[in-house]
Amino acid sequence: MTAVPTETTIRQVLRRACPDVRVDALRTLDAGYTSKQWVADTDQGRLLVKVPQRNRDPDHFRRLVAGTRIAADHGIPVVRHRELVLHDPDVDGPVLVQEFQEGDAAGDVWETLDEEQRKALCRDLGDVVGRVHAIRGSRFGDVLDSGGVETLRESVLAEVQSLLDQTGALDDTVRTAVMAAVERLDSSASAPSLVHGDLWLPNFLVTDGRITCVLDFEHAEYNDRFRDFGKLDEHVFDGFPAGREVFLDSYATACPLPDDWEQRVDLAHVLHALNMHVYFQRWTPQWAPQYAQQVKEWLTRNS
């Protein structure tokens, strides 16, 4: 973690990024887990300033901007970015300035909703996620990269090998079982879609219980669309199974479900667990073992 910039520093950063903007007031925003954020009241409306605290690679923000732009081009409700500074000397890293989007994080209001209100939100969730996944790509890979690979098999093989190289808790049995699961999928699984990569309630803004904005596309890529179901199931539907059916009905209207969708969701679950295991090994090691256990339980079910 890096030191948190002061208000004076952020004013200087914003002045350099947007020299035509007059800042009238500035306050910190207690939101997000991987960046520090400030809201600036300006003569051009409210702006949000984001400074990453974990991944300070400027490509992280470049991917966020690119993924957001692709989604916006297809009618997905997203924020509008103003300036991307790849390196600012005062924070020794990248800075992103975007228009401040009004609304509450869905994760903040979820506990205040009754069952029918939660179902209504899940219905909106299915529609917007389905519309994101209806955006097609030509190859599997990063939204920043014109390269990539042609098949899901190639994509998963490279990903799993990279993840296994970063952990000592799991062995090549995982790679063998995952690749066998990929081989059982229909060939249509090799049709890449835009995948958000971080779909859970904090990344949706709501107004009066309805979704109004999708946030934070910094993990966006072209991949099998059901990869997004790993985090959705863990953080939304495992705790509220009644919402999954209405979500799926709405999702299927926007992006029809193929015959093998359940197998693809099952694959998404183990890949999500493997990614989270490696992620938490680095940032919060005490949480990593539970994801390694999920991978082992998946192996038992699929042996």
- Specify the CATH number for the domain of residue 271: 3.90.1200.10
Say whether both 112 and 39 belong to one domain: no
Distances (CA, A) of 246 to 122, 223, 242, 253, 291: 7, 24, 8, 11, 28
Q: Is residue 93 part of a domain?
A: yes
Tokens describing residue 214: 């999708």
**Of 57, 82, 99, which marks where a domain is finished?**
99
Say whether both 45 and 108 belong to one domain: no
Please identify every stretch of the chain with a pLDDT value under 50, giving residue numbers as ranges. Answer: none
What is the longest distance spanned by two Cα atoms in the chain? 62
pLDDT score, position 1: 52
How would you label 112-136 residue by residue, b for 16+ Cβ within 10 Å and e otherwise?
Answer: ebeeeebbbbbbbbbbbbbbbbebe
Where does residue 36 fall: left (phi above 0), alpha (psi -120 to 50 degrees), or beta otherwise?
beta
What is the distance between the alpha carbons of residues 82 and 21, in angstroms, rounded to a whole number? 11
Say whether both 11 and 82 belong to one domain: yes
pLDDT score, position 2: 63
Say whether both 153 and 297 belong to one domain: yes
Given a contact cutoff of 8 angstroms between Cβ atoms, the answer to whether 177 and 203 are in contact is no
For residue 198, what are the domain limits? Answer: 104-301
Given a contact cutoff of 8 angstroms between Cβ atoms, the answer to whether 127 and 253 are in contact is yes
Given a contact cutoff of 8 angstroms between Cβ atoms, the answer to whether 96 and 47 are in contact is no
Pairing assessment for the beta strands 204-207 and 210-214 based on DSSP bridges: antiparallel
Distances (CA, A) of 38 to 49, 58, 131, 206, 214: 5, 19, 30, 20, 19
Q: Is residue 2 part of a domain?
A: no
**Of 99, 134, 151, which marks where a domain is finished?**
99
**Of 99, 116, 136, which marks where a domain is finished?**
99
Say whether both 88 and 169 belong to one domain: no
Residue 25's DSSP bridge partners are 41
Say whether both 110 and 85 belong to one domain: no
Q: What are phi and psi for residue 51, nearest 5 degrees?
A: -125, 120
Q: How far apart are the first and last CA of the chain?
A: 40
Q: Is residue 156 part of a domain?
A: yes
Q: Is residue 83 part of a domain?
A: yes
What is the distance between the alpha carbons of residues 129 and 124, in angstroms, rounded to a whole number? 9
What pTM did the predictor assign? 0.94
Q: Is residue 1 part of a domain?
A: no
Say whether both 16 and 89 belong to one domain: yes
The total of structural domains in the chain comes to: 2
What is the distance between the alpha carbons of residues 205 and 198, in angstroms, rounded to a whole number? 14
Q: Is residue 251 part of a domain?
A: yes
Say whether both 112 and 56 belong to one domain: no
Say whether both 74 and 184 belong to one domain: no
Say whether both 115 and 207 belong to one domain: yes
Say whether both 188 and 292 belong to one domain: yes
- Residue recorded with tokens 């970063």: 166
- Specify the CATH number for the domain of residue 45: 3.30.200.20
- Could you give the angle at which helices 288-301 and 172-183 cross, rounded to 10 degrees? 50
Say whether both 181 and 280 belong to one domain: yes
Q: Is residue 260 part of a domain?
A: yes
Q: Is residue 40 part of a domain?
A: yes
What is the distance between the alpha carbons of residues 303 and 297, in angstroms, rounded to a whole number? 10
pLDDT digits (tens, 9 = 90+) for 173-193: 999 999 999 999 999 899 999
